[in-house]
Amino acid sequence: MSSNNSSNILALNKPKGYIVTRSDEKGRKTVYDLLPDWAFDDGWMPIGRLDLDSKGLLLFTKDGKIGNELTKSGGCIKTYEILVRGHVTDMHIQSALKGVETAIGILKVHNVEKIGNAGAKTKLRVQINEGKNRHIRRLFGAMTDPKFRTPLKVLELSRVSIGSLKLDIVSGKWRFLSQNEEHELLRY
């Protein structure tokens, strides 16, 4: 490890199909299968979660204070690019910003912008500053496509940044953050 690298935080580009847990009783692949053995043995823990069907930037630390700082509600903004089955309208975007009633309560986003669409699919860039279980999937799933009268469905979800840190790693690979990246992330 270079002296310019952090010894507190490492980043992984989690592929779809890996579960964020130390071990899985069902025998599914875990994110620790992508990391060196010492990450498991030395107690490196994920900072937050990405579900089995999601991919993108996932951070790990051995320092509980860093983990708490980066996951506290209203703290670090996380940015996602998602592909939604359904026609996402300006009204949906306004609802997502104000808050949408879901099975687990009201969920909302910090920011959302439409970045593309093709037929009945819409690509969005979504930012949240809190992360409840399946937050984005539940929020959009609670809204209805105005044309087909069916629930919107998140087909793909990729976390592309956490705070000031942008995803720059090939899928399935990891690296330590630089000291500068760690400093910027923790003051974010």
Give me the pLDDT at residue 1, please: 46
HSE (side-chain half, CA atoms, 13 Å) at 106:
6
Helical packing angle, 64-71 and 179-187, nearest 10°:
50
Strands 153-162 and 55-61: parallel
Query: Mean pLDDT score of the chain, rounded to an integer?
Result: 94
Q: Is the pLDDT of residue 174 over 80?
A: yes
Please calculate the CA angle 84-46-66 and round it to the nearest 5 degrees.
115
Q: Is the pLDDT of residue 4 over 90?
A: no
Q: Is the pLDDT of residue 3 over 70?
A: no
Contact 78, 42 (CB under 8 A): no
Give me the pLDDT at residue 131, please: 77
- Give tens-digit pLDDT for 28-80: 999 999 999 999 999 999 999 999 999 999 999 999 999 999 988 777 999 99
- Confidence at 109, pLDDT banded by 50, 70, 90: very high
Q: Is the pLDDT of residue 147 over 80?
A: yes
Amino acid at 28: R
Out of 33, 51, 90, 168, which one is annotated catalytic? 51
Q: Is 51 a catalytic residue?
A: yes
Measured CA to CA, the distance from residue 153 to residue 143 in angstroms comes to 9
Give me the pLDDT at residue 187, please: 83
Report all structural domains of the chain as residue ranges with CATH numbers, in order of start: 5-73+165-187 (3.30.70.580), 78-161 (3.30.2350.10)
